[in-house]
């Protein structure tokens, strides 16, 4: 059934609606986790391993227990349920016992009357370790004779993609290149560190409040560790100060630890990590070593790509199986390639676990594949733009997984729009003719495609629910199972609900996400919230709208088919009636205007052995063109301008989309130039924001954002997810611009000034 709103009246879709949570945040009234206070509340603290790899001989907590103000000190033996926190696979304990696998493994917990008392007591815990040799490099992890971090060895997974015959493809090629690219860890640096408050109830139930991307993950983890039913665990996601993927896996740990302390003490417990704890103990973006081989004809047509990837999963699996699935699928880039072979090997090391971060395993291979495309263009004496246009995915193309693209394929449009808006052709020629010392400018580009949502690997989680209640006065409450991390999801969902019901947005109030009254909606990751939760809201609105139209028809003396909608009202046969009059009549007639809407992603055909088939149900596309200025003496690089063209399906809120693109692109610039996570034998040396540098507003370039609308028939009003896409092409665009400026080909991230300064400029 179609939504019963006149198509000529779109009150809010495509409009730059003010953020529904903007004023609360701007005025400092929004309550974050550390703002919460409950009667009798204690403060929780973890004790973390200082050893990257060792056997635990003993844990002595006696002195900590004797400290004034200390209420509870817990170790693994105090866990009433299962000591297991693995998100995708089992094998990660909530509290380490017998063995620690990275410097940051949590061994014990303290709850005390004050933060200071908890901190002091945690420093008094003594652990006797028997040191074991550590493994700190992904290629070393697979060598003979190295210690096994887990009983099954150090290979966590091996994913394969096989399309055609690459040997044949390379025989057909006129040019073959082989290159190695490397990337390091990247930290999320959300402004609000990880935190949660656990409040025990009188009948064994527990309520969690926190900075949480995936409330249903937390519900499962807490129930498992406490040994209670899901129905006794309620998770409420409150205002959140950023996530970027880092609050997908880790909150299960933080919440479960706070819950353990709350149950043991019988009192509410708040656990909020310090910035150093957050940096040292939580998951990061996967470091990777990527070996690429590419073949092409003289005219630029690609014939074959082979890729071997070694990814550092760290001490535990975390989200590696699904992150590296995306890596494997996207490794060949957004191009038509007849012969593809990809091997993605994830290995355990004695470093912090690696999990989700914006882009989810794709920025790494985008840096490699887009750098390689520029190297190939140089070898063929072709313009990098022309090489990409010749091979770009189009409607009807087959991806590397042999997925035939049938709609909403805007890659070529992003290339062409970015080319025109940036002045690519003119500047490319100008910058390539520079000579002399001082400062030089360069321009570079990169493209990407992004499989929206979790795809075939996570299809069982690709669902969303929404609760919608229309009150008798015509106002509306909406609650969804996915969360707003600061990206503006609540605003867009408000627009979707208003449009689907036929009311103005001021009548809609979004409630906090709570596992207590919305269906399991999977994780808030993979650019899936607008698409899946939006469709769930529409499903609920359709059901209620049908009831409203039926009552409106009876009041207007018309049939339901004759009723038209306009904002906050209905009309038929020349008469009009207000929305609230109809809702009041529904109340008097005992017509229920409360319902649950539900949406599940379409099923996908997939061959797991060779990674062939429909990896995702829809893709978003982007092209970024970066202009840089390079100081030849110091090697310092400044990004002056970034043109970003994105196929977003349908722009439901253009202002919000532009903000997402600018923020994501700046994170990508940080990945390229600033964020240097320094490790030494499993220990983080850059353990503060004084030593781990991120770009600020002062480092932001001039942005030119171009929204390409290629509507997706399966999305809410044509929209599709895209929020992770802006980060993906930024780093390779910057790297390629640096090469254009000074001839330095970066094959490792981050690109440091000393690397650039060592090269004699062309």
Question: Both tokens of residue 277?
Answer: 């704890």
Residues 6+ apart with CB under 8 A from 627: 422, 427, 441, 442, 443, 639, 640, 641, 642, 701, 737
What is the rounded CA–CA span in Å between residue 465 and residue 480? 6
Q: Which of 95, 33, 181 is nearest to 512 (CA)?
A: 33
Question: Both tokens of residue 579?
Answer: 């929305």
Say if residues 461 and 453 touch (Cβ distance below 8 Å). Answer: no
Say if residues 524 and 462 touch (Cβ distance below 8 Å). Answer: no
- In terms of DSSP bridges, do strands 269-272 and 155-163 run parallel, antiparallel, or are they unpaired? unpaired
CB atoms under 10 Å from CB of 230, counted, come to 14
Q: Is pLDDT above 80 for 297?
A: yes
What is the rounded CA–CA span in Å between residue 92 and residue 73? 21
Q: Is pLDDT above 60 for 158?
A: yes
pLDDT for the residue numbered 104? 98
DSSP state of 457: G
What is the rounded CA–CA span in Å between residue 472 and residue 478? 15
pLDDT for the residue numbered 750? 98
| Average pLDDT value over all residues in the chain | 95
Residues 6+ apart with CB under 8 A from 255: 196, 198, 208, 210, 212, 218, 221, 222, 235
Q: Which of 681, 724, 606, 554 is nearest to 328 (CA)?
A: 606
pLDDT for the residue numbered 525? 86
- In terms of DSSP bridges, do strands 54-60 and 126-131 run parallel, antiparallel, or are they unpaired? antiparallel
What is the rounded CA–CA span in Å between residue 273 and residue 254? 9
CA distances from 426 to 383, 429, 433, 492 (A): 12, 6, 11, 39
Say if residues 517 and 481 touch (Cβ distance below 8 Å). Answer: no
DSSP string, 133-157: ----STTGGGSTTPPPSSTT-SEEE
What is the rounded CA–CA span in Å between residue 154 and residue 184? 19
Q: Which secondary structure element, helix H or strand E, spans residue 473, and what is its range?
A: none
φ/ψ bin of 344: left (φ > 0), alpha (ψ from -120 to 50), beta (otherwise): beta
Domains of the chain: 22-30+463-600 (3.30.365.10), 406-453+617-762 (3.30.365.10)
pLDDT for the residue numbered 5? 41
What is the rounded CA–CA span in Å between residue 505 and residue 476? 9
Q: Which secondary structure element, helix H or strand E, spans residue 374, and what is its range?
A: helix 362-380
Q: Which secondary structure element, helix H or strand E, spans residue 65, and what is its range?
A: helix 62-65
Mean pLDDT of 615-630: 97
Question: Both tokens of residue 127?
Answer: 């652990």
pLDDT for the residue numbered 760? 63
CA distances from 127 to 59, 98, 101, 223 (A): 5, 11, 14, 28
Rounded percentage of the chain residues whose pLDDT exceeds 90? 93
pLDDT for the residue numbered 6? 38
Q: Which of 419, 406, 411, 410 is nearest to 335 (CA)?
A: 411
Query: Where does the pLDDT of residue 8 fall: very low under 50, low under 70, confident under 90, or very high at 90 and above?
Result: very low
pLDDT for the residue numbered 9? 47
Mean pLDDT of 652-673: 96
- In terms of DSSP bridges, do strands 683-684 and 679-680 run parallel, antiparallel, or are they unpaired? antiparallel
pLDDT for the residue numbered 1? 29
DSSP bridge pairs for 128: 58
What is the rounded CA–CA span in Å between residue 39 and residue 268? 8
Question: Both tokens of residue 350?
Answer: 């004695």
Question: Both tokens of residue 642?
Answer: 């970034």
Mean pLDDT of 299-304: 98
pLDDT for the residue numbered 758? 77
- Tell the burial category of 122 from Cβ atoms under 10 Å away from its Cβ (0-12, 13-18, 19+): buried
Residues making up the chain, counted from first to last? 762
- Tens-place pLDDT, residues 172-212: 999 999 999 999 999 999 999 999 999 999 999 999 999 99
Say if residues 701 and 512 touch (Cβ distance below 8 Å). Answer: no
Question: Both tokens of residue 58?
Answer: 């003993």
Residues 6+ apart with CB under 8 A from 260: 74, 78, 79, 94, 109, 225, 226
Angle in degrees, CA 55, 60, 66, rounded to 5: 160
Rg (CA), the chain: 27
- Tens-place pLDDT, residues 586-599: 999 999 999 999 99
Rounded percentage of the chain residues whose pLDDT exceeds 70? 98
Q: Say if pTM beats, i.e. exceeds, 0.85.
A: yes
Identify the residue with better confidence: 525 or 478: 478
What is the rounded CA–CA span in Å between residue 551 and residue 107? 61
- Tens-place pLDDT, residues 500-558: 999 999 999 999 999 998 999 888 888 899 999 999 999 999 999 999 999 999 999 99
Question: Both tokens of residue 737?
Answer: 């611009």
DSSP string, 430-451: HHHT--SSSEEEEEEEEEEEEE
């Amino acid at each position: 059934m179609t939504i019963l709103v006149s198509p000529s009246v779109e009150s809010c879709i495509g409009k730059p609606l003010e953020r529904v949570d903007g004023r609360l945040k701007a005025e400092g009234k929004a309550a974050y986790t550390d703002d919460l206070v409950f009667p009798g509340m204690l403060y929780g603290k973890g004790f973390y391993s200082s050893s990257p790899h060792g056997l635990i001989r003993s844990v002595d907590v006696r002195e900590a227990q004797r400290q004034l103000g200390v209420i509870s000190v817990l170790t693994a033996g105090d866990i009433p349920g299962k000591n297991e926190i693995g998100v995708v696979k089992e094998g990660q304990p909530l509290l380490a016992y017998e063995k620690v696998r990275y410097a940051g493994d949590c061994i014990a917990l303290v709850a005390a009357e004050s933060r200071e008392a908890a901190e002091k007591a945690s420093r008094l815990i003594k652990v006797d370790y028997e040191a074991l040799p550590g493994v700190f490099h992904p290629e070393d992890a697979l060598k003979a004779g190295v210690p096994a971090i887990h009983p099954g060895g150090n290979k966590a997974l091996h994913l394969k993609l096989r399309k055609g015959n690459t040997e044949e493809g390379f025989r057909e090629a006129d040019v073959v290149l082989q290159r190695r690219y490397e990337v390091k860890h990247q930290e999320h640096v959300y402004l609000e560190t990880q935190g949660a408050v656990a409040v025990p109830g009188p009948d064994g139930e527990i309520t969690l409040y926190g900075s949480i991307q995936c409330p249903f993950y937390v519900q499962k983890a807490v129930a498992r560790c406490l040994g209670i039913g899901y129905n006794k665990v309620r998770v409420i996601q409150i205002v959140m100060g950023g996530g970027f993927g880092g609050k997908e896996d880790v909150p299960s740990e933080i919440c479960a630890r706070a819950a353990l302390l709350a149950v043991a003490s019988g009192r509410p417990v708040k656990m909020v990590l310090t910035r150093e704890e957050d940096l040292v103990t939580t998951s990061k973006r996967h470091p990777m070593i990527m070996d690429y081989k590419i073949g092409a004809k003289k005219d630029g047509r690609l014939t074959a790509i082979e890729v071997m990837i070694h990814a550092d999963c760290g001490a535990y699996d975390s989200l590696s199986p699904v992150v590296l699935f995306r890596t494997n699928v996207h490794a060949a880039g957004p191009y038509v390639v007849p012969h593809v072979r990809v091997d993605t090997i994830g290995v355990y090391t004695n470093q912090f676990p690696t999990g989700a971060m914006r882009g989810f395993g794709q920025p790494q291979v985008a840096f490699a594949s887009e750098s390689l495309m520029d190297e190939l263009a140089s070898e063929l004496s072709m313009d990098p733009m022309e090489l990409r246009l010749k091979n770009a995915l189009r409607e009807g193309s087959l991806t590397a997984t042999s997925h035939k693209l049938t709609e909403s394929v805007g890659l070529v449009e992003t290339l062409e729009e970015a080319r025109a808006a940036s002045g690519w052709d003119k500047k490319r020629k100008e910058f390539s003719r520079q000579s002399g010392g001082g400062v030089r400018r360069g321009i570079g580009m990169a493209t990407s495609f992004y499989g929206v949502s979790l795809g075939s690997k996570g299809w069982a989680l690709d669902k969303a629910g929404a609760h919608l209640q229309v009150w008798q006065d015509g106002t509306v409450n909406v609650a969804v199972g996915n969360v707003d991390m600061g990206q503006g999801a609540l605003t867009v969902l408000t627009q979707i609900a208003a449009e689907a019901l036929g009311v103005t947005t001021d009548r809609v109030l979004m409630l906090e996400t709570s596992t207590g009254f919305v269906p399991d909606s999977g994780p808030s990751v993979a650019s899936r919230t607008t698409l899946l939760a939006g469709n769930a809201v529409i499903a609920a609105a359709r059901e209620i709208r049908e009831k409203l139209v039926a009552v409106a028809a009876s009041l207007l003396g018309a049939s339901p088919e004759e009723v038209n909608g306009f904002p906050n009202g209905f009309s038929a046969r020349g008469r009009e009636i207000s929305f609230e009059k109809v809702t009041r009549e529904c109340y008097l007639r005992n017509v229920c205007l409360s319902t649950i809407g539900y949406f599940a992603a379409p099923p996908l055909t997939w061959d797991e052995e060779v990674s062939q088939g429909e990896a995702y149900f829809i893709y978003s596309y982007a092209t970024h063109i970066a202009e840089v200025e390079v100081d030849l003496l110091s090697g310092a690089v400044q990004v002056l301008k970034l043109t970003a063209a994105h196929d977003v399906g349908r722009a439901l809120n253009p202002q919000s989309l532009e903000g997402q693109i600018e923020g994501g692109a700046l994170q990508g610039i940080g990945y390229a130039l600033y964020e240097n996570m320094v490790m030494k034998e499993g220990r983080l040396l850059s353990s503060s924001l004084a030593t781990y540098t991120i770009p600020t507003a002062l480092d932001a370039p001039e942005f030119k954002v171009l929204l390409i609308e290629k509507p997706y028939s399966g999305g809410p009003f044509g929209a599709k997810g895209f929020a992770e896409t802006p980060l993906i092409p930024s780093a390779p665009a910057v790297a390629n611009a640096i090469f254009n400026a000074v001839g330095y080909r970066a094959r490792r991230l981050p690109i440091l000034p000393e690397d650039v300064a060592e090269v004699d400029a062309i």
